[in-house]
Amino acid sequence: MNVEIHVNKGFGDLLFGETIMKIVAIVGEPSKKVAINDDPSFDTTLLEYHNYEFNLFFEVINAPLLTSIDIYNEEATLWTHKIFELSFSEIIALFKANGFEEYEEETHTWGEKRISFEDANTDLYFEKDILTSVTISHHIAYNTEDFMFSVN
């Protein structure tokens, strides 16, 4: 499977805005499927792919569409670099070299550190300065009257 991260587009052959049926046709049935109903404005469906080491999140308004991917596959690449082999400072430099200068950093009380590049819709999670996962997403613009999907 292609494990290249495409900022604001998707992961490998999995593109934001795709339906669950299309994704399952590409990668097969998930290890686990979970319905998440914690937001009153929409539901979320989570597909876990343990063998491929990623999770897919689908927001459901009129139809479930891929909106977020949590990647923990150590072979994943970003701009031709194996992202999980890079240090904290190398990751910051990589994003800056690709036009994403601004980021926010937060350290949780339990020790996990999160770096967010808002323009890239990317969050990176570290434990003891070691990258543990990358979450990429894309803002979904719905027109609920005639159902239009827009990926900028």
Longest dimension (CA), the chain: 47
Helix (H, G, I), strand (E, B) or coil at 149: strand
Q: 22-41 pLDDT, tens per residue?
A: 999 999 999 999 988 877 66
The reported pTM is 0.88
Q: 108-141 pLDDT, tens per residue?
A: 888 899 999 999 999 999 998 899 999 999 876 6
Q: How many CB atoms lie within 10 A of CB 37?
A: 10
CA distance 109 to 35: 28
CA distance 27 to 70: 15
Which amino acid is residue 115, in one-letter code?
A: I
> Residue 79: which domain range?
4-150
The tally of domains found in the chain comes to: 1
